[in-house]
Amino acid sequence: MLACLLMSLLSWQDPPPVPPPSDAPPAPAAKPRVLEVLDDKVAKQVAAELEKAVGGSASMAAKNRALDRVAGSSHALLLKPLANIVEKDKSIVIRGRAAVLLRDQPKPDALDTIRKLLKSSKVQGQPGVLAELVRGMSQCGYEPKQWAEIASLFEVDYKTERVTLQEALLELITTHKEKQAIDLLLRNLDEPTPENVHDADNPPQEYWEARWKAWSVWKSKVKDALFAITGQRFSTASEATAWLQKNPLR
């Protein structure tokens, strides 16, 4: 009797969903972004507008209009005025926009300009701008020999304003499978906690709080970077270290 009742109830259930046919056409691929390569005459005009926008008297609206004119465009003459804005403009927002536009300019000149800006003392104190430059470096032909130029940027400190920069570095490491970053990744894989709270050299509580908040944002990206390099997923630094000892990277 119970069996008949169950069969009756089951017969009233909705039929299982029909899976899509295996020969369904794939989703269309995203169209590649096409840049407008400016002719020399137009490029000179746009570059002049950018140079004028660097001036302290230019309004935010004027600066944004000049940068809007550059968006989607490419020419070697735009590199210098964009770099000047990245270094000198009073607005961090404008400097960040100019840094983003640099990556659209002709390579390898764009990469050379970005590398110089990353070393500039006028940019070092602006982690948001540095983040855009690191992303541009990744997109403009980054090579492993350039890792030394940016390796120290991650662990300068763990303040909130540097999280975006740390994420940009992790993205570069993942994209380029940068093996030289292994030690950095291992140092930042585990949840940060003080080892010797009574040690005089132990950083203050504020340091550990800031580091934990930063880690909580990008911890999954550390794991993704390690996976990109090793092909393995690790939960702890000791686990990753043990695997690497048995499987040294070549």
pLDDT at 29: 54
Q: Please tell me the predicted confidence (pLDDT) of residue 120.
A: 97
Provide the token pair at 44: 């000179």
Q: What is the pLDDT of residue 2?
A: 41
Tell me the β-bridge partners of 74: 37
Residue 52 is predicted with a pLDDT of 85
Q: What is the 3-state secondary structure (H, E, C) of the chain?
A: CHHHHHHHHHHCCCCCCCCCCCCCCCCCCCCCCCCEECCHHHHHHHHHHHHHHHCCCCCHHHHHHHHHHHCCEECHHHHHHHHHHHHHCCCHHHHHHHHHHHCCCCCCHHHHHHHHHHHCCCCCCCHHHHHHHHHHHHHCCCCHHHHHHCHHHCCCCCCHHHHHHHHHHHHHHHHHCCHHHHHHHHHCCCCCCCCCCCCCCCCCHHHHHHHHHHHHHHHHHHHHHHHHHHCCCCCCHHHHHHHHHHCCCC
The predicted structure's pLDDT at residue 238: 98
Can you give the pLDDT at residue 31?
Answer: 59
Domain boundaries, the chain: 37-142, 152-250
- pLDDT reported for residue 152: 97
Q: Kindly give the confidence (pLDDT) of every residue in the chain, 250 residues in length, as a single tens digit, with 9 standing for 90 and above.
A: 444 444 443 444 444 555 555 455 565 555 566 889 899 999 999 999 898 877 667 889 999 999 999 999 999 999 999 999 999 999 999 999 999 999 999 999 999 999 999 999 999 999 999 999 999 999 999 999 999 999 999 999 999 999 999 999 999 999 999 999 999 999 999 999 987 766 767 889 999 999 999 999 999 999 999 999 999 999 999 999 999 999 999 8
Q: Which of 195, 189, 198, 194 has the alpha carbon at shortest distance from 209? A: 194
CB atoms within 10 A of CB 144: 12
> What pLDDT does residue 54 have?
74
Instruction: Judge contact between 67 and 100, C-beta under 8 A.
Output: no
